[in-house]
Amino acid sequence: MSLISCSECKKEVSNKANVCPHCGNPLNGNEPIEIELTNKRWKWFKLFGWLLFILGLYMSLGFAHAGGFSNPMVGLGIFVAFVGFVFLLIAKFGSWWTNR
């Protein structure tokens, strides 16, 4: 453990501390990890969106092929694909918001 000086109040702080105990300033090294974690979360969001989108597409096409477009499962497939699409949009917006 060593001491570093806080970038805000210039007092000595342990380099193991997450925030300065004197002024509450978040210390070096924490912010990039936070952003990385958030990016990872958006990646999962995106992956989930793609999975739903592809699944929904397969469902609607498969059921349309089997029973025609009057099959209510076609609508469900389109709905699942739409939800996946919304997830993709949210992930895109979310990662933009984080990396802005």
Give Cα separations from 64 to 7, 16, 36, 80, 84 (angstroms).
63, 60, 42, 15, 19
- In 17-97, the DSSP E strands lie at none
> Least distance in Å: CB of 6 to Zn ion?
3
> Least distance in Å: CB of 13 to Zn ion?
6
Q: Judged by CB under 5 A, does residue 6 bind Zn ion?
A: yes
Interface residues for Zn ion in 11-50 (CB under 5 A)?
A: 20, 22-23, 25
Q: Which is nearer to Zn ion, 19 or 89 (CB)?
A: 19
Q: Judged by CB under 5 A, does residue 8 bind Zn ion?
A: yes
Q: Which is nearer to Zn ion, 6 or 88 (CB)?
A: 6
Q: Which is nearer to Zn ion, 6 or 81 (CB)?
A: 6
Binding footprint of Zn ion on the chain (CB under 5 A)? 6, 8-9, 20, 22-23, 25
